[in-house]
Homo-oligomer: A and B are copies of this chain.
Amino acid sequence: MKKIALYPGSFDPFTVGHLSIVNRALSLFDEVIVAIGVNISKKEFMTLDIKVKAINELFSDQPRVRILCYDGLTAQFCEDNDINFVIRGVRDADDFMYERRIANINKLLNKELETVLYFSESRYAEISSSMVREVYSYNGKISTFVPPIILKYIK
């Protein structure tokens, strides 16, 4: 049976940290699904359409990565699509506490679902989507925080 990992997030935008997690996950999983959570209420930095397009281009040479959008509960989405693994990158204790709460909720709703954590690489430890958005809003340089292909869609 194929081992498929769901990598959920809002990826607003997709950073070099996210890219590192996907690439590392590919050496363990047969397929990695970048699952963009649709959040209607929250104002987004990149629209959903642009995000999908940009991340698709980023992985155009990697057939083992798929891009999907979903709204609703991650646990339900995984059950409906026979996905047994969720992967997440964790930077520090705060991230960990957050992920543990989410993972436990997912497990309450879907017993089969296993969340597996990766440590963020040290050099990416401070890079997050919200940080990129903030730097960008003040006209700061973001080119070291997002992959060049993603950057193209932001400018």
Contacts and interface: CB of A to CB of B under 8 A. Distances in A.
B76 A138 contact: yes
A117 B90 contact: yes
Contacts of A126: 101, 104-105, 108, 122
Given A93-B93, A96-B90, A105-B135, A28 B114 contact: yes
A100 interface: yes
A6 interface: no
Interface of A: 3, 24, 27-28, 71-73, 75-76, 84-85, 90, 92-94, 96-97, 100-101, 103-105, 108-109, 114-119, 122-123, 125-126, 131, 135, 138-141, 144
A109 B140 contact: yes
Contacts of A24: 114
Contacts of A108: 126, 144
For the complex of A and B, list the 9 residue pairs with the smallest distance between their C-beta atoms, beginning with the closest.
A104-B126, A117-B117, A93-B93, A96-B96, A72-B138, A73-B138, A73-B140, A103-B119, A94-B97
A104 B125 contact: yes
Given A85-B28, A117-B117, A140-B76, A105 B131 contact: yes
B28 A116 contact: yes
